[in-house]
């Protein structure tokens, strides 16, 4: 099973992906996690990645596809994967479709999450993440704060704000999303794989309800 999580930054893709991962027993693969791993380890590719990510720009297609191809060849992905942050451009989607076709695989569903833009910006600037790489819990100082300020509830490690979670960089990321990634909505709509839904605290449509609807949709299609 191949599931793609699509949507603007901070729409809740990772949270929904985690629930689906547990349900179907397949890994949730985040491009952000892979990118940050390379950057923190200061690999050669990490230096290249950082030059784009630090400005909120998209990483070139050839680099993204190379990392995705390598990750999908690992043993834990034999039964499928949930992709969060892959793919991000129509060119990547076309290349990924070709990659899957060569292996007699297909995309089962593209979950497109929609959230009001002002709510997205609020989520990003108030987001805090656990510094423990084995935990990676995510909090929000307004919507979902930790019990002790600045400390992870799960493992007790310090929380931090990511370098790219500033208002200026968040606005740039949204502009990049609208320009480069949003055309994928039309692309996947034409393939029949698109499933669009809303995730917003303002209408009480949060990750559990969205994931439940996705699971029901997959069971009926």
Active site residue 123: no
For residues 11 and 117, give the distance between their C-alpha atoms in angstroms, rounded to a whole number. 9
Written as six digits, the tokens of 53 are 């990510």
Active site residue 13: yes
Architecture of domain 2-115+182-219: 3-Layer(aba) Sandwich (3.40)
Indicate the range of 13-22, 155-164, 182-191, 201-210 predicted with least confidence.
201-210
pTM: 0.84
For residues 88 and 61, give the distance between their C-alpha atoms in angstroms, rounded to a whole number. 8
Active site residue 127: yes
At residue 136 the predicted structure's pLDDT band, cuts being 50, 70 and 90, is confident
Indicate the range of 24-38, 170-184, 189-203 predicted with least confidence.
24-38
Whether 62 shows a pLDDT value over 90: the answer reads no
**HEC letters along 30-61:** EHHHHHHHHHHCCCHHHHHHHHHHCCCCCCCH
Q: Domain ranges for the chain, please list them.
A: 2-115+182-219
Which of 36, 88, 128, 205 is flagged as catalytic?
88
Which of 23, 71, 136, 162 is flagged as catalytic?
162
Percentage of the chain lying above the pLDDT 90 cut: 67
Active site residue 128: no
Written as six digits, the tokens of 177 are 């999303």
Whether 58 shows a pLDDT value over 80: the answer reads no
At residue 147 the predicted structure's pLDDT band, cuts being 50, 70 and 90, is very high
Are residues 15 and 119 in contact, defined by beta-carbon separation less than 8 angstroms? no
For residues 60 and 53, give the distance between their C-alpha atoms in angstroms, rounded to a whole number. 11
For residues 167 and 169, give the distance between their C-alpha atoms in angstroms, rounded to a whole number. 6
Maximum CA extent, the chain:
50
Active site residue 202: no
Residue 6: predicted pLDDT: 97
At residue 48 the predicted structure's pLDDT band, cuts being 50, 70 and 90, is confident
């Amino acid at each position: 099973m191949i599931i793609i999580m699509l949507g603007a930054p901070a729409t809740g893709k990772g949270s929904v992906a985690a629930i689906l991962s547990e349900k179907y027993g397949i890994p949730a693969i985040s491009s952000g996690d892979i990118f940050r791993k390379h950057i923190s380890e200061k690999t050669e590719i990490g230096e290249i990645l950082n030059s784009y990510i630090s400005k909120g720009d998209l990483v070139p297609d050839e680099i993204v596809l190379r990392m995705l191809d390598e990750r999908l060849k690992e043993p834990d992905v034999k039964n499928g994967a949930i992709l969060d942050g892959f793919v991000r451009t129509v060119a990547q989607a076309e290349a990924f479709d070709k990659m899957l076709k060569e292996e007699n695989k297909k995309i089962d569903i593209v979950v497109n999450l929609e959230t009001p833009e002002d709510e997205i910006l609020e989520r990003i600037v108030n987001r805090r993440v656990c510094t423990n790489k084995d935990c990676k819990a995510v909090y929000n100082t307004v919507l979902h704060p930790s019990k002790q300020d600045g400390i992870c509830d799960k493992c007790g490690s310090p929380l931090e704000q990511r370098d790219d979670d500033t208002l200026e960089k968040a606005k740039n990321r949204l502009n990049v999303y609208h320009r480069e990634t949003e055309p994928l909505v039309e692309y996947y709509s034409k393939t029949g794989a698109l499933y669009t839904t809303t995730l917003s605290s303002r209408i009480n449509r949060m990750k559990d309800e969205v994931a439940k609807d996705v699971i029901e949709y997959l069971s009926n299609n």
